[in-house]
Chain A
Amino acid sequence: MADSNVLLRVEHLCKDFPVDKGFLAKHSKNARYVHAVNDVSFDIAAGETFGLVGESGCGKSTTGRCIMRLTEPTGGKVLFEGKNIAEMDKKALKSMRREMQFIFQDPYASLNPRMTIGEIISEPMVIHNTVPDKAERIDFVRELLDTVGLNPEHINRYPHEFSGGQRQRVGIARAFALRPKLIICDEPVSALDVSIQAQVLNLLTDLQKEFGTAYLFIAHDLSVVQHISDRVAVMYLGNMMEFSDWKTLYNEPCHPYTQSLLSAVPIPDPDIQGKRERIILRGDPPSPIDPPSGCPFHTRCPIAQAKCSQEKPELREVLPNHYCACHFAEPNPIKESSIEL
């Protein structure tokens, strides 16, 4: 794990949201919390794409927001190039934000409807004063628009004149305006039509090749993550369950949760799809206010045993560079779950 070109290292990140509002409730002994992110650790190397998957409400977006300090983490460290973001003051945070950008899920809500796309894309350059000359800035915005596949002539248009896919391209152009080293993509394609998703993913891949940017790619769709990621981590109920490079994870998932997720991804071959066994999980995910004891997944796990409800499994290296938080994890115990890639 210790790599010399580690760009971002997240150590034991925690985020609890208080359930009850108000001074008295917050300070009472039995104050309740939503444990959105629970002791999550991982690292991202420069230029790589790290996929973070999990179902809705598992804390993957909160993890992304905590890294960016859009949400204040309640515990743990976020080291960006060795400096702890969680402890930065306003000034340090501002200069850090030059290196780290965010792409939002909803292309309709993430662009200010009262600004032209030219103003939106040049805003990061104005804030950080990277291109002080106005004419130069406009040229740069036009260039960026061309880079993300939009017509530079539309620089003076407003967001409501564009489609969802085009708006997301504007969001991408804004994120790349400062040439950051890391971009956190919070489900950047899940609000788009399937036909547009691939175009936007291709654009992100091309931009990565050109600028060498690292991505933290958050998604709930395994097939989207597979398309773009170097390494993939699976989250469940605020906990990291498994992580590995994507080939290993997709071919030899160790954790029963990963296995069940992968078995739900359709395979575009009716013969294989018809034959393979789907692992269907029982029940709903438990409430993050009152997470289960021991392994968070034991309430729905097909191979759970008595130990699972008592002892919380640590992330352990089951195979070289393949980490899994399960007492009984073994590489690829369910053969049918492998996917032709």
Chain B
Amino acid sequence: MSTATDKKEAPQSQAAAPARTLWGDAFARLRRNKLAVLGVIWIIFIVLVALTADLWAPQLLGSPTEMDTTQAAATSKLPPSLEHPFGTDALGRDVLVRVIYGARVSLTVGLLATAISTMIGLVMGALAAYYGGLWDTIVMRLADIFLAFPYTLFVVVMLAVMGQGIQNVFIAIGILGWPSIARVFRSTILSVKENDYVDAARALGASDVRIITRHIFPNSVASIVVYATMNIGGAILTEAALSFLGMGVTPPNPSWGIMIQDGQQYLATQPWLMLMPGLAILTTVLAFTLLGDGLRDALDVKMKDA
């Protein structure tokens, strides 16, 4: 059957080039984005510090929760020094160790809340977009209802019902975060499912499940990865806001929001009490945003100049 072949049209590089996957390409592009790499390094650093904190932080800097009442007067509100790099708070606790343990809360809430939102959002968005019609109307109006309430107020109400505690915080943030993810996913699917390759799969006799998992999902997931990454930063901010309002993690457990709330009264005299956890929030949220931004560029199939 080689009569039909026409080697003129054959690819320019007949020599076997290594097969590159799209995810491999994306990784190569991400690595050249300096800001995104910076974000990744910062996130990895924070995660490592938070995970290993038990092994070294209390020995070096003291307990993040227990206060030394006998020496409270002598050790409280010390300015940053070699012994206490971020200073100490009103109860004589080291601010650095509290920021480190606060990272655990922030990262847990950020990741788990986003995971919950993403899972609900993916299912809802897929239902709305793939089946359309009545499903679309139900899911999207439900999303509108969720979005119509002031977000923070809604979370506060949910926490008031469920009670405080870190797991309730990420559950509440996670459950309330799905509408925007569902919307992003729905619009992506709507554009992806118009592609001929989806029709091609249908013409081949592929089942709905196969079309969704093999054709639509892999081509829509990029936008969700980007959105979810940025959403982590948003969830961290929400947790901080909740703790600041006294609805989040219960004292004496450290959380960046609680620390800012504790520190606000000393803003004029001991600014590091508020500044340090504030900087921790700023850099971490920024790192997730930079990573999300880099992922968006890296996952764009059209930018295949790698």
| Bound pair (A, B) | yes
Chain A residues at the B interface, C-beta cutoff of 8 Å? 65, 68, 70, 93-95, 97-98, 101-102, 104-106, 109-116, 123-124, 127-128, 146-151, 153-154, 156-158, 160-163, 165-166, 171, 174, 196, 199, 202-203, 206-207, 210
What is the 8 Å Cβ interface bit string for chain B, positions 217-247, against chain A (1 contact, 0 not)? 0110000000000000000000000000000
Chain B residue numbers with a CB within 8 Å of A149 are 2, 4-7, 9-10
Task: For the A-B complex with A127-B206, A160-B301, A202-B4 known, give 14 more contacts whose Cβ atoms are closer than 8 Å.
Answer: A68-B203, A97-B203, A97-B205, A104-B199, A109-B196, A109-B197, A113-B219, A128-B205, A146-B1, A146-B5, A151-B14, A166-B9, A174-B200, A199-B6
- On whether the beta carbons of A124 and B204 are closer than 8 Å, the reply is yes
Q: B: which residues have CB within 8 A of A?
A: 1-7, 9-11, 14, 16, 19-22, 195-197, 199-207, 210, 214-215, 218-219, 301, 304
- Pick from B10, B195, B218, B304: contact of A109, CB below 8 A: B195
The residues of B that contact A147 with a CB separation of less than 8 Å are 1, 4
Of all chain A residues, which has the CB nearest B12? A163
Contacts of B219 in A (CB 8 A): 112-114
Query: Count the A-B residue pairs with Cβ separation under 8 angstroms: how many?
Result: 107
A127-B205 CB under 8 A given contacts A148-B4, A158-B21, A206-B3: yes
On whether the beta carbons of A210 and B1 are closer than 8 Å, the reply is: yes
A116 to B20 Cα, complex, angstroms: 10
Which residue of A is nearest B204, CB measured? A124
Residues in B with CB closer than 8 Å to A109 are 195-197
User: Which residues of A sit under 8 angstroms from B214, Cβ to Cβ?
Assistant: 112, 115, 123
- Output the nearest chain B residue to A94 by Cβ-Cβ distance: B205
A127 adjacent to B203 (CB under 8 Å): no
Q: Among the interface residues B6, B11, B195, B197, which one has the most CB atoms of the partner chain A within 10 A?
A: B197
Contact partners of A105 in chain B: CB under 8 A = 196
Q: Which residues of B contact A124 (CB under 8 A)?
A: 204-205
Are the CB atoms of A112 and B203 closer together than 8 Å? Answer: no
Q: Is the CB of A110 within 8 A of B204?
A: no
Residue pairs across A and B with Cβ atoms less than 8 A apart, 7 shown, are A102-B200, A104-B196, A112-B219, A149-B7, A158-B21, A158-B22, A174-B204
B11 surroundings in chain A (CB, below 8 A):
151, 154, 161-163, 166
B202 and chain A: residue at smallest CB distance: A70
| CB atoms of A104 and B200 under 8 A apart | yes
**Residues of A contacting B20 with CB < 8 Å?**
158
In angstroms, Cα B16 to Cα A95, docked, is 38
Contacts A68-B203, A97-B205, A127-B204 given; does A111 touch B6 at CB 8 Å:
no
Instruction: Give Cα distance in the complex from A65 to B203, angstroms.
Output: 9
Which of B4, B204, B215 has a CB less than 8 Å from the CB of A97? B204
Given the complex of chains A and B, what is the CA–CA distance between A202 and B210 in angstroms? 34
Complex: A202 Cα to B21 Cα, angstroms = 32
Of B2, B9, B16, the residue contacting A146 (CB under 8 A) is B2
> Which residues of the partner chain B approach A160 to less than 8 Å between Cβ atoms?
301, 304
Look across to chain A and name the residue whose beta carbon is closest to the beta carbon of B23. A114
Q: Is the CB of B4 within 8 A of A206?
A: yes
In Å, the complex CA distance between A106 and B304 comes to: 20
The one of B3, B10, B196, B218 in contact with A151, judged by C-beta atoms closer than 8 angstroms, is B10
Name A70's contact: one of B9, B14, B199 (CB within 8 Å). B199
A196 with B4: CB separation less than 8 A: no
CB-CB nearest in chain B for A206: B4
CB neighbours of B2 from chain A (8 A): 146, 149
Contacts of A174 in B (CB 8 A): 200, 204
- State in angstroms the CA–CA spacing of A97 and B202 once bound together: 9
From known contacts A114-B219, A127-B210, infer whether A106 and B9 are also in contact, taking CB-CB under 8 Å: no
A150: B residues at CB distance < 8 A: 10
Beyond A102-B200, A153-B16, A158-B20, whether A114 also contacts B218 by CB under 8 A is yes
Contacts of A65 in B (CB 8 A): 199
B52 to chain A, nearest CB (A): 37
Smallest CB gap from B203: residue in A: A102
How far, in angstroms, from A70 to B199 measured CA to CA in the complex?
7
Q: How far is the CA of A115 from the CA of B119 in the complex (A)?
A: 24
In angstroms, Cα B210 to Cα A94, docked, is 13
**Cβ contact within 8 Å between A206 and B10:** no
Roughly how many angstroms separate A105 CA and B195 CA in the complex, as a whole number? 12
Which residues of A are found within 8 Å of B7, using beta-carbon distances?
149
Q: Is the CB of B196 within 8 A of A106?
A: yes
With most chain B CB atoms within 10 A of its CB, the pick from A94, A154, A165 is A154
A93 to chain B, nearest CB (A): 7
For B218, give the chain A residue with the smallest CB separation. A114
Q: Do B215 and A112 have beta carbons less than 8 Å apart?
A: yes
Q: Of B5, B202, B218, B301, which is in contact with the most chain A CB atoms at under 10 Å from its CB?
A: B5
Residue of B nearest to A108 (CB): B196
CB contacts (< 8 Å) of A148 on chain B: these are 4-5
A153→B3 CA distance, assembly (Å): 19
Q: How far is A311 from B66 in the complex, measured between Cα atoms in Å? A: 96
How far, in Å, is A273 (CB) from chain B's closest CB?
Answer: 29
Find out whether the CB atom of A110 lies under 8 angstroms from the CB atom of B9.
Answer: no
B304: nearest chain-A partner, CB-CB: A160
Does A123 lie within 8 Å of B204, measured CB to CB? yes
| Alpha-carbon distance between A112 and B204 when the two chains are bound, in angstroms | 13
